[in-house]
Structure 1
């Protein structure tokens, strides 16, 4: 009984931290946070409560779509990691607006956004000073979230960092089904540059932003890869010992992929990661997609 009481006292004495939207990346953060923080993890799914508790978090059942439920999060923690995506429709992010309405002044918040806010950059290498030009509703909602958070941070005297994230990959986040179906990719002349980050590195980047980011600063969470989308599918296919996808011109491919996939194939950009390394001091565990796939194949269970 005395041991249990001492453990409870140690837990209560830790600084409090709130993860909003504790999905795959949030779960990867928990082992890096739970020994130093009392972590509250928000989920909308009651059947995930036990999983979050077992991972070392205090689960909170709340849905940011409902202001009354968002209010449960008020003053839970002075540090917030906001990983929840916007709702699936509209041009504003109501979830982020509901969250900022209940957060106290002088909160430290890291928001995980998307590189889609830039729209198509024609394959140019860009840094975080590039103006946003969202081309689809998903990205428009993300820009609304970023602007909402900036206004809130200035008004409340809070500290905000925005982490813009490209395509996330990991052992459980590879386009294996797409490759097995033989869904075509673009021919080289029509193809677009894409950007990538391993989910484990992303978890570490968000924590580094929490600890070392400059106020109201944007960071690219991206590795050192320089590759087009078709090349990404090819290296994943090779790693999984699957056939490489066929290649088609854009005019033919648009009839064989979903509108959502086609929208990704319409934007080409390369993200610079100098700030990630010089300001946040991050050393990537998986510097390129090829490096990450080597580790994935090495540690994957036999098929």
Structure 2
């Protein structure tokens, strides 16, 4: 009987950084895995348990607190972002010291590692060229994980993710405040992925991704940034953002927002379709906005 129970036992999966996307991922994996979700906030334990995970409180910035995670699971989803300072990712460095050999890890990185690419369309073979410390930390994390995978004989897949949106992750407050966008001549191309599609992609990568493979987790949209803001404004009947030339915009927005509006990227997503078999639920931003409107305006009951 005990041997039979062992055969039926689900493999363990460790989710690091279980925020919004992690919570969307949990119901997709609970049948295949016994999922352990790491949080640094004890107040989130009940939420994670209700979502079907075994909550673990640990601080990724403190190596001593990670000891209980060592050899806990051979499947890992790494969603935790680096800290907001420095040129490397100490959190990922700490993790590589305790992760077991012969593991399967999916790392959620960022498309920002490519820097500014102008109007050129490109695939995953493009060389990274980060322009800011935030992106350099992500490149450092990727390099740390590549080195770990090689020495531990583990399988690593990297999903490079752009702006994540969903019904509850839209720039409505930005539009309501009238934050300006760039004029057409100065505007940059931007990429998007719906949070639900990203969760599905992570699941597919766990089962289907090739070792040491990079994937662009982006949808089929081909939009400039102000065009995206206009689409959201029109869908929710809000005023469109005023447009300013870049020279004037720098005095009107925060340095963080300006950095996002200073890099242009047009990423191809053929690989997620051909290799992972991804069928996007929200192939374009317009599809996601239509869904968001349905959620915001529920159909009246038929009395």
Q: Shared fold (TM-score greater than 0.5)? A: yes
Out of 135-144 and 9-18, give the one that drifted further: 9-18
- Tell me, what secondary structure is at the counterpart of 2:214? strand
Match of 1:75 among 64, 71, 86: 71
Cα deviation code 1:103-132 (max 9, x no counterpart): 111010000000000000012111100000
Question: Contact 1:12–1:38 at 8 Å: present in 2 too?
Answer: no
- Counterparts of 1:133 and 1:237 in 2: how far apart (Å)? 33
Q: Does 1:40 align with 2:36?
A: yes
Out of 190-199 and 72-81, give the one that drifted further: 72-81
- Counterparts of 1:245 and 1:11 in 2: how far apart (Å)? 58
Q: Does 1:226 align with 2:222?
A: yes
2:234 is matched with which residue? 238
Provide the TM-score with structure 2 as the length reference: 0.95
Cα deviation code 1:10-48 (max 9, x no counterpart): 998111100000000000001111122100000011100
Provide the TM-score with structure 1 as the length reference: 0.95
Match of 1:247 among 243, 250, 266: 243
- Counterparts of 1:11 and 1:30 in 2: how far apart (Å)? 23
Match of 1:144 among 140, 143, 146: 140
Q: Does 1:88 align with 2:89?
A: no
The structural deviation recorded for 1:210 is 0.7
1:26 is matched with which residue? 22
Question: Contact 2:117–2:264 at 8 Å: present in 1 too?
Answer: yes
Q: Does 1:274 align with 2:274?
A: no
Q: Does 1:127 align with 2:127?
A: no
- Counterparts of 1:153 and 1:301 in 2: how far apart (Å)? 47
Question: Contact 1:93–1:141 at 8 Å: present in 2 too?
Answer: yes
- Tell me, what secondary structure is at the counterpart of 1:111? strand
User: Which runs of structure 1 show a deviation greater than 6 angstroms over 4 or more consecutive aligned residues?
Assistant: 9-12
1:169-208 equivalences in 2 (<5 Å): 169-208=165-204
The structural deviation recorded for 1:224 is 0.2
The structural deviation recorded for 1:166 is 0.3
2:301 is matched with which residue? none
- Tell me, what secondary structure is at the counterpart of 1:39? strand
- Counterparts of 2:182 and 2:155 in 1: how far apart (Å)? 42
Taking a change above 3 Å as real, the CA distance of residues 235 and 10 of structure 1, as seen in their structure-2 partners, is: farther
Cα deviation code 1:132-173 (max 9, x no counterpart): 000011100000000000001011100000000000000111
- Counterparts of 1:197 and 1:43 in 2: how far apart (Å)? 24
Question: Contact 1:164–1:219 at 8 Å: present in 2 too?
Answer: yes
- Counterparts of 1:11 and 1:169 in 2: how far apart (Å)? 40
The structural deviation recorded for 1:233 is 0.2
Aligned-residue CA RMSD (Å): 1.3
Q: Does 1:58 align with 2:54?
A: yes
- Tell me, what secondary structure is at the counterpart of 1:201? helix
